[in-house]
């Protein structure tokens, strides 16, 4: 299971019950895509208020220590290129970062846990986790 930035950000803000969601997965492991790590770290860098930056930084660093990163390598790059061509050819592109997450998930046979279903639903063959019950 790949965790998209949307569920992680909502968890940080207290609007997504990450512990309950992870418990619902049972033995299934979770990971984040490399681009998601960059998105989260960018959010830390952009936080202007020192208190928010420190809290967000601690949250992100704890995530990065506990959740493995699915690295973007050649297998993911090839799947990315295929997906990019297919979606562009259909006139249904998705966001650049979302495409990287989707390609990483597809290349590794992972589902994606996201609150941005409208983007990811356009990706053929991509399985999305039902995260709605865990959003508050």
The pTM for the full model equals: 0.93
Q: How many helices (H) and strands (E) does the chain have?
A: 7, 4
pLDDT at residue 135 above 90?
A: yes
Higher per-residue pLDDT: 99 or 136: 99
Q: Work out the mean pLDDT of the chain and round it to a whole number.
A: 95
Q: What is the DSSP string of 105-134?
A: HHHTT--EE-S-HHHHTTSTT--B---GGG
pLDDT at residue 4 above 90?
A: yes
Sorting pLDDT into bands at 50, 70 and 90, what band is 27? Answer: confident
pLDDT at 26: 87
Number of domains in the chain: 1
The residues facing 32 across adjacent strands are 69
Sorting pLDDT into bands at 50, 70 and 90, what band is 136? Answer: confident
101, 4, 24, 111: CA torsion to nearest 10: -20
pLDDT at 129: 96
Distance CA 7, CA 23 (A): 15
For residue 101, what are the domain limits?
Answer: 2-134
Contact 126, 120 (CB under 8 A): yes
Question: What's 47's domain CATH number?
Answer: 3.40.50.1010
For range 32-58, the mean pLDDT: 94
């Amino acid at each position: 299971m790949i965790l998209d930035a949307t569920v992680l950000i909502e968890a940080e803000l207290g609007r997504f019950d990450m512990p309950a969601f992870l418990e619902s997965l049972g033995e299934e492991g979770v990971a984040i895509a490399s681009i998601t790590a960059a998105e989260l770290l960018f959010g830390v860098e952009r936080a202007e208020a020192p208190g928010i930056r420190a809290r967000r930084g601690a949250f992100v660093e704890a995530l990065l220590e506990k959740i493995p990163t699915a690295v973007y390598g050649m297998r993911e790059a090839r799947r990315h290129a295929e997906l990019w061509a297919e979606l562009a050819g259909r006139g249904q592109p998705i966001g650049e970062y979302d495409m990287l997450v989707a390609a990483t998930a597809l290349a590794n046979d992972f589902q994606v846990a996201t609150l941005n279903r409208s983007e990811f639903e356009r990706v053929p063959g991509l399985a999305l986790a039902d995260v709605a019950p865990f959003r508050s």
